Amino acid sequence: MTPIDWLLIGLFLCAAGVHLYFGTRYREFFVVDRSNFRQSYWSMIREFQKHHPKPGKVLISVVWLQVLLVVALTLSRFIH
């Protein structure tokens, strides 16, 4: 593995830590029970953003960052 791969993995793990923080700090929005069992994770984030606009934007940015990091890591593995 190249240093770029390790950097991408490290950034992904940091973003996962941010996900864990939001999941524990704002647990009432992300708990799954009978009332929201069929609700998607993205709709939970949207509901969270309605009540907490700034942290909601941060969480959406973290989700997109993770998607980009996975794509970059995949492309990096195909290039090398």
The pTM (predicted TM-score) of the whole model is 0.80
Domain spans, the chain: 3-79
Q: What is the DSSP code string of 27-42? A: HHHH---GGGTT--HH
Distances (CA, A) of 61 to 27, 28, 34, 36, 37: 19, 20, 28, 23, 24
**pLDDT (0 to 100) of residue 37:** 77
**pLDDT (0 to 100) of residue 23:** 87
pLDDT profile of the chain (80 residues), mean per 10? 88 92 88 77 88 93 92 86
- Residue corresponding to tokens 């009432």: 28
- Cα 41 from Cα 34, distance rounded (Å): 15
